[in-house]
Structure 1
Amino acid sequence: MSGNTITHNVAEAGERTEATRSASVTRHRAARELGLRRGDLDLAVQLGRVRTVPDDGGGGRRVPRDEIDRIRAADGFPDVLRAAVRAVGTTEGAALMDVTTARFTRLARLGLLVPVKFYLNRYRAVVWLYLAEELRRFRADERNTALLKGRTPEGLRDQLGDGLDLRPRNWRGRHLGFLLRQADDPWARAAAVASLLDAAEISDVVTDPYERSHLRRFRPALATHGSPGSPAAQLAEEIATAADPGEVDWLRSELAAAVDTARRHRPAPRPAARVTPHPPGPQSLACGTAEPVPHEAEDAVPPEAGQPGRLSSLLGRLWRKDS
């Protein structure tokens, strides 16, 4: 490739990056223009209510200017958007549903109310947050009246007594949906699935070390909960990692399928074949040099090696010539 061609390609890439940046804004800027807090904008993006595009300059995802214009022109802006991303904790959620906090917690542990995110308070206790819009819909559904007012059915009470708590698993399932929605590449989709499995499970499913390394490049970052290695960060990692055997089996199956799809789309990059010097043969003895050969050919057997008579004769001629 000529220098002119390289310069032309670099210039084109720079023009595309500049065009993307001029037609879009950072998330911080978008939150301000949409009247949202940064965390609320992130949730709106995860829920698919705000579209983003990759930043070709490597600065993270950005919000297109026309997307901001579309949202601002919608009826009820900004109240409708704010209501759609409003997340509440147990106390406020129970008040919205007109139930006690104890009943609300039971419904959440049974998996009937699905958390949208979580954080750790100063006591390192997990605080689950739920979409207020979903809680209102659950309360308005007549099929849920018995769960809200009556006695919890005996079968469900038994599960609660056995320690059932589906909040972490339900959050992981929802979080995976968020990650897959934003994945623009088959390897990124596979990495999203892998992010919910521990390293041993990933190694067992993805046996190729180059593919595992490629997955790590696309691995989505977990929201920060304390400094790296702190008890809070470790607890957050535990919540984000599947432990239930049924969930683990399902994720392993999904990961295998996702990696197979990504592999067919574009194989994981591998280092170039190593080239090492070949042990000197008769030719190199005569001229005093050794020809380098590809590493894969190191185990190849020279034709003469299978014919000891010819090799001895050749070495004898070389010895008589030198003498």
Structure 2
Amino acid sequence: MSGNTLTYETTASAGRIGTARGTSLAPGRAARELGLKRSEFALAVHLGRIRTLPDEGGGGGGRVARDEIERIRAQQGYPEGLRESVRCVGTAEGAALLEVTRARFTRLARLGLLVPVSFYVNRYRAVVWLYLADDLRQFASDEGNADAALLKGRTPEGLRDQLTEGLDLRPRNWRGRYLGFLLRRADDPWARAAAVASLLDPVEVSEVVRDPYERSHLLRFRPAQPSHGTPGSPAAQLAEEIMTATDPDEIDWLRADLAGAVDVARGHRPAPRPPLRPVPREAEHRPAPKDPHPPRRAPHPEPHPAPQDPPPPGSAPRPSEAEAPGRIRSMLTRLWRAGP
């Protein structure tokens, strides 16, 4: 996976074998029928070596049609060819296949030239990366890799500088490959959007998908994560960190792809929402009920007149300005009546 755009690899519905549930097998039974371990069977499904059907019974995982079992058994080189196509190797065995030292093999993987197909956390809480043996053989057979001094000679200076700065693309490359597996098996637009969301932190998802009903719908289609120890254990927490995007540019293009995938899914089929309850007509015109226990208000005190200073002793009280005009008017009236 490269660039900022994901190519959705989906298997057409016509490519799947249509059959009734009664003529298909559960994953565990199908693995035994093909002589594979459960981990090998899961990887074969991811790689498209085994075609599955949706489990409409809700048992989880995909079922395998009996016709698909017979098709695989009829292939030339079965069962060794099938087992070899899903054989995974660690650093030591991978270095032997490439005929290089373990240190050089690790450098090539950290530079992103060797892409892991799986991983697990050992009892020492160390991440063990696994690689497809087929991928390593193809890498070794490419003459350009030998000419670029990747397998022989001194590692180019530019690549050495990146390693010195702590470059390690193994987690990111694994996420990209794993997302390709999920998208290849997703038949529903919401399932494709949920596959992208599964690699993002929930906070990032909530910022891109703001509708709570759409986020809830995404959770319904969220793919089951590979188990790595007991939930909440240090091994499980370390695995969860690997399965969550951390590089800023990786987060940016995953957010952009999630927004586009949700937009496509929304146009295909909107997320379900609870039905709205109709409001009765009488309730529309009904006055709001009065509170039987209204809050008590503190009584307002009566205003008191401002106190006045008493007149100085020995002085006659002066008439107020309102009484003076009346007294002058009565005096003039008496003088007018008395005449000359």
Regarding TM over 0.5, the answer is: yes
Question: Aligned AA for 1:143?
Answer: G
* Pairing 1:21-60 to 2, within 5 Å after superposition: 21-60=21-60
Q: Do the aligned partners of 1:20 and 1:56 also contact (CA within 8 Å) in 2?
A: no
Confirm whether residue 207 of structure 1 aligns to residue 221 of structure 2: no
1:281–1:40 Cα change, 3 Å: closer
Identity of aligned residues (%): 72
Provide the residue aligned with 1:187 in structure 2. Answer: 190
Q: Give SS of 1:204's match.
A: helix
Alignment length, in residue pairs? 267
Provide the residue aligned with 2:234 in structure 1. Answer: 231
Greater than 3 Å deviation, 4+ residue runs: 274-285
Q: Which structure is richer in relative contact order (CA contacts within 8 A, separation 6 or more)?
A: 2
Provide the residue aligned with 2:181 in structure 1. Answer: 178
Shift of 1:283: 7.5
Question: Aligned AA for 1:167?
Answer: R
Provide the residue aligned with 2:331 in structure 1. Answer: none
Shift of 1:20: 2.4
Provide the residue aligned with 2:170 in structure 1. Answer: 167
Q: Give the TM-score, by structure 1 length.
A: 0.80
Cα distance between partner residues in 2 of 1:127 and 1:279:
69
Equivalent residue for 1:251, pick from 246, 250, 254? 254
Shift of 1:281: 6.8
1:276–1:133 Cα change, 3 Å: same
Provide the residue aligned with 2:106 in structure 1. Answer: 105
Cα distance between partner residues in 1 of 2:280 and 2:232:
46
Cα distance between partner residues in 1 of 2:284 and 2:193:
48
CA offsets 1:178-236 (integer angstroms, 9 cap, x no match) = 10111121100000000000011101110111000000111111111111111111111
Stretches of structure 1 that go unaligned for 5 or more consecutive residues are: 1-18, 286-323
Shift of 1:33: 1.3
1:123–1:265 Cα change, 3 Å: same
Provide the residue aligned with 1:144 in structure 2. Answer: 145
1:197–1:284 Cα change, 3 Å: closer
Cα distance between partner residues in 2 of 1:275 and 1:245:
46
Provide the residue aligned with 1:316 in structure 2. Answer: none
Cα distance between partner residues in 2 of 1:240 and 1:73:
37
Question: Aligned AA for 2:142?
Answer: D
70-79 or 21-30: bigger deviation = 21-30
Shift of 1:274: 3.2
Cα distance between partner residues in 1 of 2:47 and 2:250:
23
Cα distance between partner residues in 2 of 1:276 and 1:91:
70
Q: Give SS of 1:63's match.
A: strand
* Pairing 1:80-95 to 2, within 5 Å after superposition: 80-95=81-96
Cα distance between partner residues in 1 of 2:286 and 2:226:
63
Shift of 1:118: 0.3
139-148 or 102-111: bigger deviation = 139-148
Stretches of structure 2 that go unaligned for 5 or more consecutive residues are: 1-18, 289-340
Provide the residue aligned with 1:321 in structure 2. Answer: none
Provide the residue aligned with 1:9 in structure 2. Answer: none
1:278–1:33 Cα change, 3 Å: same
Cα distance between partner residues in 1 of 2:251 and 2:118:
21
Confirm whether residue 222 of structure 1 aligns to residue 241 of structure 2: no
* Pairing 1:127-142 to 2, within 5 Å after superposition: 127-142=128-143
Provide the residue aligned with 1:121 in structure 2. Answer: 122
Cα distance between partner residues in 2 of 1:212 and 1:76:
46
1:112–1:284 Cα change, 3 Å: closer
Cα distance between partner residues in 2 of 1:30 and 1:107:
36
1:283–1:126 Cα change, 3 Å: closer
- Larger helix proportion of the pair: 1
1:160–1:279 Cα change, 3 Å: farther
Question: Aligned AA for 1:274?
Answer: R
1:53–1:273 Cα change, 3 Å: same
Cα distance between partner residues in 2 of 1:144 and 1:280:
78
Q: Give the TM-score, by structure 2 length.
A: 0.76
Provide the residue aligned with 2:271 in structure 1. Answer: 268
CA offsets 1:118-174 (integer angstroms, 9 cap, x no match) = 000001100000000110110111111121011000000000000000000000000
RMSD of aligned C-alpha atoms? Answer: 1.7
Q: Give SS of 2:131's match.
A: strand
Cα distance between partner residues in 1 of 2:284 and 2:58:
51
